[in-house]
Amino acid sequence: MGIPINVGVIGCGAIIAQYLTNFRRLDSINLVAVADLDPARAQAVADSYDGVRALTVDQLLAADDVELVLNLTIPAAHADIALKAIAAGKSVYGEKPLAATTGEAREVLDAAAAAGVVVGCAPDTVLGTGIQTARKAIDDGLIGAPVSATATMATPGHERWHPNPDFYYQPGGGPLLDMGPYYVSALVTLLGPVVSVVGAASHTRSERTIGSGPREGQKVPVDIDSHVTGVLVHASGALSTLFMSFDAVKTKSPNIEVHGQTGSLIVPDPNHFDGDVQLFALGAEEWETLPVSAGYVDSGRGFGIADLAATPAGQEPRAGGQLAFHALEVMESVLDSAKTGQSVAIKSTVARPASVELAELSTGVRA
Ligand SMILES: NC(=O)c1ccc[n+]([C@@H]2O[C@H](COP(=O)([O-])OP(=O)(O)OC[C@H]3O[C@@H](n4cnc5c(N)ncnc54)[C@H](O)[C@@H]3O)[C@@H](O)[C@H]2O)c1
């Protein structure tokens, strides 16, 4: 792959707008084509972005000028589209989770390894200044050896704002698989890989009501646990407590806290790219906001693809398939543990991705 990298997008739904905004700011990304099961959605994107053509999925997979397929379909389709793209010789970068199950995700990674193509996966929020500044604070010893973390995500449910929220309530969705990738990827970035988990989960309602758009008022069935808690045991010995809920109204707790023997750290929302990192050092009188010291400045969804394009051949990209697989195995195992009541050992492991120096990737806005 060269820079700029030629990207074709499959899946032109709610999230593509954020990628388009950022692709206009990233010289290293050249969007060439888009496709969707609904041709009108692909055409609307092509009409809005200079030089982009709307294709069918098969045409996009066969297009010679597409080097990397950005997979923005729903979770249930992630593996199928990724495998088709890999079979066509393309690298892939997918929205999270990597696949609906670790079984499917393993097939994707194995197929990519056999084909010699690269797998990247959201979230790339961990490359922004928020998580990277927190990571640097930990690596610089500002809290001493990390002992524990809490990760809290509380919302009444995405059906309140998403016009087609069905997939959030089907296998592959739920608060953990939907929002957990941000939190688990951040926790692994901050504290390293996970070796075992325990979980507990609950299911409150069998239906949800769509709150916006043309289907407002329609009910969608709920086939997942909508409140999930868990404890992750990191290889370092640190323990992270997860709270992921579509059954809560609001929380004032920070999204992530990390505690060490000589300091406590408030880490900003891992679903955002920036935000303040706060430190309460042992013996201090109050919280101190740390200066931004690492990460891609003013970044957004899609910066992980620019990072992937700049990764030397043969090296795992930071927002890479291995991290996404590990995060998925951790989440799937929390849900398994919730069913069986037993602790689950995590088979995969992953190195903490290389830290990101404070850097500006965006170069201004194109048409
Ligand atoms: N909506 C958000 O705010 C948000 C934020 C972060 C990540 N994500 C992730 O992005 C992904 C997409 O979410 P979304 O909200 O854009 O969903 P969406 O339902 O709005 O859009 C998905 C699009 O993919 C198309 N599609 C589905 N299966 C396909 C297939 N097999 N081939 C071609 N096209 C297909 C659909 O027609 C639709 O246009 C999900 O993995 C989600 O977790 C969404």
Tens of pLDDT along 136-159? 999 999 999 999 999 999 999 999
Do 220 and 207 form a contact (C-beta atoms < 8 A)?
yes
Distance 139 CA to ligand 1 centre (A): 36
Q: Which of 16, 34, 73 to mutate to test the pocket of ligand 1 (most atoms within 8 A of CB)?
A: 73
Ligand 1 atom nearest to 11, measured from its CA: 24
What span, in angstroms and rounded, lies between the C-alpha atoms of 196 and 334? 9
pLDDT at res. 54: 98
Mean pLDDT of 108-134: 98
Ligand 1 proximity of 14 Cβ (cutoff 6 Å):
yes
Output the CA 14–ligand 1 centroid distance in Å: 7
Ligand 1 pocket, residue 11 CB under 6 Å: yes
Residue 364 has pLDDT above 70, yes or no: no
C-alpha 241/C-alpha 84 separation (Å) is 37
CA of 11 to the centre of ligand 1 (A): 6
Residue 143: its pLDDT value, please? Answer: 98
Query: Nearest residue CA, atom 31 of ligand 1?
Result: 77
Tokens of 246: 């579509």
- Closest CA to ligand 1's atom 44: 15
Do residues 152 and 205 make contact, with C-beta atoms less than 8 angstroms apart?
no
Would the CB of 15 count as within 6 Å of ligand 1?
yes
Query: At a CB cut-off of 8 Å and minimum separation 6, what does 134 contact?
Result: 190, 256, 258, 265, 267, 268, 277
Nearest CA to ligand 1 atom 2: 15
Q: Does ligand 1 come within 6 angstroms of the Cβ of 302? A: no
The 3-state secondary structure of the chain, one letter per residue: CCCCEEEEEECCCCCHHHHHHHHCCCCCEEEEEEECCCHHHHHHHHHHCCCCEEECHHHHHHCCCCCEEEECCCHHHHHHHHHHHHHCCCEEEECCCCCCCHHHHHHHHHHHHHHCCCEEECCCHHHEHHHHHHHHHHHCCCCCCEEEEEEEEECCCHHHCCCCHHHHHCCCCHHHHHHHHHHHHHHHHHHCCEEEEEEEEECCCCEEECCCCCCCCCEEECCCCCEEEEEEEECCCCEEEEEEECCCCCCCCCCEEEEECCEEEEECCCCCCCCCCEEEECCCCCCEECCCCECECCCCCCHHHHHHHCCCCCCCCCCEHHHHHHHHHHHHHHHHHHHHCCCEECCCCCCCCCCCECECCCCCCCC
Substitution site in 72, 78, 161, 220 for ligand 1 pocket (most atoms within 8 Å of beta carbon): 72
Percent with pLDDT over 70 in the chain = 98
- Residue nearest to ligand 1 atom 6, measured at CA: 15
pTM of the model: 0.96
pLDDT of residue 3: 85
Ligand 1 centroid to 13 CA: how many Å?
Answer: 5
Q: What is the mean pLDDT of residues 241-250?
A: 96
Ligand 1 closest atom vs CA 12: 39
Are 249 and 160 contacting, i.e. CB atoms less than 8 angstroms apart? no
Q: Which atom of ligand 1 is nearest to the CA of 13?
A: 21
Q: How confident is the model at residue 318, as a pLDDT?
A: 97
What gap in Å lies between CA 329 and CA 188, rounded to an integer? 12
Tokens encoding 228: 């999930």
pLDDT of 257 above 80: yes
pLDDT in tens, 57-110: 999 999 999 999 999 999 999 999 999 999 999 999 999 999 999 999 999 999
Confidence of residue 362 (pLDDT cuts 50, 70, 90): confident
Q: How far is the CA of 235 from the centre of ligand 1 (A)?
A: 34
Contact yes or no for 109/253 (Cβ under 8 A): no
Ordered by where they begin, the domains of the chain are 5-121 (3.40.50.720), 125-294 (3.30.360.10)
pLDDT given for residue 366 in this prediction = 58
Counting from 1 in the atom list of ligand 1, the atom nearest the Cα of 36 is 34
Q: Can you give the pLDDT at residue 363? A: 66
pLDDT at res. 365 = 61
Identify whether the C-beta of residue 186 lies closer than 8 Å to the C-beta of residue 229: no
- Tell me the CA–centroid distance for residue 75 and ligand 1, in Å: 8
Residue 284 has pLDDT above 60, yes or no: yes
Which of 9-18, 78-87, 170-179 has the least mean pLDDT? 170-179
Ligand 1 centroid from CA 62, angstroms: 21
